[in-house]
Amino acid sequence: MTKNIIPRASALTSIFIKEQSKEPIALFWIMISPCAMFYFFAATRQDPNYFSSNYITASAWFYAYISSSVALFGFAFYIIGRRESGFTRSFIYSKESKLIFLLSHFIAYSLISISYCTTFYLTTKLPFGDYDLSELLNIALRFYICFIMFCAIGAVFSLLPINFQNSNTLLSIFSFCMLILGVMSASRSNPITDALNLANPLTLASRIMEQGLESNKLITTAIILLFILVLHKTFKYLRINPVWSRY
């Protein structure tokens, strides 16, 4: 059975990707909305030299936001949702099936996140200059590190004794707080918000996107180790509580 893990995980990954592609609302909020906000922000600045500035610096915050949205409202949110749908109760009853589920779930949203990153690049890069494959790969690598950081945070949420509806509220509040703190810190310097932003994952992700991995080697290493640890704990303590089950 073990030798069939890869093909089974691949098949399940394909199902998860197809399922996500049928969610137009998620597509709008995670992909179209940041693109629209990027150009809206550029227009409201009324800076004739805006598109002459560094593209990565101008777009870092948006990439950070997209990575957080895919990880929290895709990866983590649907782990919680599927454990209540009867899916886990019916199919995930052994360590091997847990491994296949988490592996395929993570691969699916990894591919989805990279596709969102690429789409955002293709949509917003041209006013700053020609497309550059090496630049795209560099951005995608930074983006993916941000994505796994938010996946680690989202996986922690999935371990909490919350249901699908409560998780939506909790993740929305968490995302909103990150967003507000980032905006407040950017608009006006304040000792309190600056201190709080030191622990703001969205601010950290924006920093990684802007400065790159070379300038943040220690943080990058910590993120990877944290992700491995949290994923292991998720595998070990994955909750199985379908709403129709009384036992």
pLDDT band at 91 (very low <50, low <70, confident <90, very high): low
Give me the chain's average pLDDT, please: 83
pLDDT band at 212 (very low <50, low <70, confident <90, very high): very high
- pLDDT, average across residues 78-93: 69
In the chain, the percentage of residues whose pLDDT exceeds 90 is 36
Q: Which amino acid is at 50?
A: Y
- pLDDT, average across residues 219-236: 92
What pTM was computed for the model? 0.87
Asked whether the predicted pLDDT for residue 188 surpasses 70, the reply is no
pLDDT: which is higher, 135 or 25: 135
Distance between CA atoms of residues 189 and 186, nearest Å: 7
Judge contact between 99 and 181, C-beta under 8 A: no
Distance between CA atoms of residues 41 and 51, nearest Å: 12
Domain residue ranges of the chain, discontinuous segments joined by +: 2-237
Reported as a single tens digit per residue, the pLDDT across 31-52 is 788 888 888 888 887 777 888 8
pLDDT band at 247 (very low <50, low <70, confident <90, very high): very low
Report the pLDDT value the prediction gives residue 27, as an integer from 0 to 100. 67
pLDDT band at 152 (very low <50, low <70, confident <90, very high): very high
In the chain, the percentage of residues whose pLDDT exceeds 70 is 85
Distance between CA atoms of residues 33 and 195, nearest Å: 29
* Nearest one of 80, 83, 151 to 112, comparing CA atoms: 151
